[in-house]
Amino acid sequence: YRKCVMTLIVSILQNLMQAVFVIADDVSLILAPIYASQVFAAAGFSTVQIVNGSIYIVATVFFGLWHGND
């Protein structure tokens, strides 16, 4: 993990990396409520919880696999 982060910092400017993270955060803050309200209206709150939980589990597994390769 540290190698990947250091390579990213060395290969591009740190301010550009931070800008990308801020933009991604802003996009998620805009899209998440829109998605959640549409899923809630169509299928109910339990479906929103299941989908969100699945996304977090998959992201955690991928992060663990990526981090475990260092």
pLDDT score of 19: 84
pLDDT score of 12: 65
Q: What is the pTM (predicted TM-score) of this model? A: 0.55
Rounded to whole angstroms, the Cα distance separating 45 from 16 reads 37
Beta carbons of 66 and 1 less than 8 angstroms apart: yes
% of the chain exceeding 90 in pLDDT: 36
pLDDT score of 21: 84
- pLDDT tens-place string over residues 24-50: 889 989 998 998 899 999 999 999 999
Tokens in use for 61? 């597994």
In the block, tokens 């982060």 appear at 5
Which band of pLDDT confidence, cut at 50, 70 and 90, is reported for residue 11?
low
